[in-house]
Amino acid sequence: MVTRTAEGRQETAASFAPAPTVPYAIELKGISKSFGPVQANKNIAIKVAKGTIHGIIGENGAGKSTLMSILYGFYKADSGVIEIDGKRVNITDSSSAIAAGIGMVFQHFKLVENFTVLENIILGAEDGPLLRPSLSKARKLLRELSDEYELSVDPDALVENLSVGHQQRVEILKALYRQADILILDEPTGVLTPAEADHLFRILEGLKTQGKTIILITHKLREIMEVTDNVSVMRRGEMVATVKTADSSAEELAELMVGRKVLLQVEKTPAVPQDVVLDIKGLRVVDGHGVERLRGIDLHLRAGEILGIAGVAGNGQTELLEVLGGYMAASGEILMQGAPLDLSGDASDGQTRRARGIAHVPEDRHDEGLILDFPAWENVCFGYHGDPKYQKNALFMDHKAIRDDAKGKIERFDIRPANCDTPAKSFSGGNQQKIVLAREIEREPALLLIGQPTRGVDIGAIEFIHQQIVALRDRGAAILLVSVELDEIMSLSDRIAVMFDGRIMGEKLPQETNERELGLMMAGMSTPQKDA
């Protein structure tokens, strides 16, 4: 492992001596943290060698985020020691983490949208009451860094005008400006195209060469295999293994994460498409700022097939789902089983759509799919609360009928904890998704809209959710699948349409395409050169 350490200041020390005498960049000893009865981190020990890329992988709720929050001073550990460069440090808040040389790039960027890149970089780290000295210092640094690491960003651009990949670079630059030696990235590729992700990895490699230590938190096994030197696997709050990436495999890591063998591939038979269920013609959406979000979408979808919409988040997929769900206004035409849908975007049409057999598992279950403070039973009728089977009479809802329905769904979908009075917010991501899925799938819809079905869902539940989607297809439903996970699109879809900038860039059959081609289309390159 030390031999893999690249050139840098530490290199001399590293090459003489085995690990014990070289101080690790970070060493955590016996970190424990509880939230009430839940122990999020149990006696975690981890050693991260200087100048390496160290992956931390684990399912949702495995404790990765808690551990990183402790390292960055958002939480205080109940017990345990943090050592940086062999010296014990006491990290009480983010400023002491920064002082200890730790920089963090969050999954959701913390940038001021209407500030320039430079203003964002110095924010909170100004040298004095006047901005000019800090700004010119930052400008100089930016010039150096962009030459060294492909970290080029226009220093005077407004952040809101930058692409997501560039915004992420600003976050990295912010950390470097604060002289971070250790950079923590939390799920950095979630919002990037494959090409942008590759660029990010090149940046990380460059930083590593300069002796920076990088901790990469992700749930994507492929990335771990691609860029990390070592990887630590967390499961249920415990650190179950730390291995050299080169000595491991994706299958082994998946098994370590879940604690049992998992199928990474979806088992399904070829689709038998029937009649056209959904026919979308010339669909356009203009948002409140006058920006065109959908620029003429044409799609059709047949019963018994899964149409996957691939694309980087923010290219119109959300708008497409919301228009189909009935709560975003659009122009154009949508025919559902031959009859047009109301495109006024008045939400009350959602009831009619459900009655016509359109079910919708929304992209964001926290914000849309569930009322988090409602108990599970009140969530199983959400959206279908007007259904006669949930009513006692004209005035009152039939709580007993709803609860009985909820109990049935909890059993059939193996939702845990199996208590319909538990508030939705207290379920894990996978179980929350199962509540939404049970609600929508058990309507036996003619058309299922499903966005990001496995976002924030643990691997064990992913298997189950994928099986349910395929089973619904086999029962004759048309399924529109939107996902930013290319793997998921590739393995579930019978047909793939790629969206970029509000347009469909093209359609492919999964067996006739590959991630590279789709990735190019996702980045806006149409594929006229396709083996012509």
Partner 1 sequence: MSKMPKWADTILIPLFSILLAFFFSGLVIFAIGKDPFNAIMVMIDGAFGSTGGLGYTLYYATNFIFTGLSVAVAYHAGLFNIGSEGQAMLGGLGVALVCLFIPFGHWTIALPVAVIGAALFGGLWALIPAYLQAKRGSHIVITTIMFNFIASALIGYLLTRVLKVPGAMSSETARFPESTHLPTFHEMLAPLGIMFNKNAPANLAFVVALVACVFFWWLIWRTRLGYQIRAYGQSESAAKYAGISPSRIIIITMMISGALAGLMAINNVMGEAERLIDNAVEGAGFIGIAVALMGRNHPVGIILASILFGFLYQGGAELALWEGIPRELVVVIQALVILFTGALDNMVRMPLERLFVALKRKEG
Which positions touch partner 1 (CB under 8 A)?
34-38, 325-327, 346-354, 360, 362, 364, 367-374, 378, 382-383, 385-386, 391, 395-397, 399, 423, 426
Tell me whether residue 33 or residue 508 sits nearer to partner 1 (CB atom): 33
For partner 1, give the closer residue by CB, 271 or 324.
Answer: 324
**Shortest approach of partner 1 to residue 403 CB, angstroms?**
14
The backbone torsions φ and ψ at residue 314, rounded to the nearest 5 degrees and listed phi first, read 90, 15
Backbone angles phi, psi at 215, to 5 degrees: -110, 125
Assigned token pair, 164: 């997501």
Q: Judged by CB, which is closer to partner 1: 247, or 367?
A: 367
Q: Do 14 and 213 touch, CB atoms closer than 8 A?
A: no
Alpha-carbon span 493 to 499, nearest angstrom: 15
Beta carbon nearer to partner 1, 382 or 464: 382
Taking the complex as a whole, the smallest distance from the CB of residue 368 to partner 1 amounts, in Å, to 4
Residue number with CB closer to partner 1 (276 or 397):
397
279-291 in b/e form (b: 16+ CB < 10 A) is bbeebbbeeeeee
Q: Compute the distance between CA of residue 354 and CA of residue 390 in angstroms, rounded to an integer.
A: 15
Under DSSP, is residue 288 helix (H, G, I), strand (E, B) or coil?
coil
Burial of 13 (0-12, 13-18, 19+ CB in 10 A): middle
Distance set, CA 357 to CA 136, 144, 274, 334, 479 (Å): 60, 58, 16, 14, 12
Minimum distance from CB of 390 to partner 1 (Å)? 8
For the CB of residue 392, give the shortest distance to partner 1 in the complex, in Å. 9
Give the residue with the Cβ less far from partner 1, 247 or 373: 373
Q: Which DSSP helix (H) or strand (E) runs through 207? A: helix 194-209
- Min dist CB 348 to partner 1, Å, is 4
- Min dist. Cβ of residue 506 to partner 1 (A): 30
Q: How far is the CB of 350 from partner 1 (least distance, A)?
A: 2
Q: Coil, strand, or helix at residue 158? A: strand
Q: Which is nearer to partner 1, 269 or 393 (CB)?
A: 393
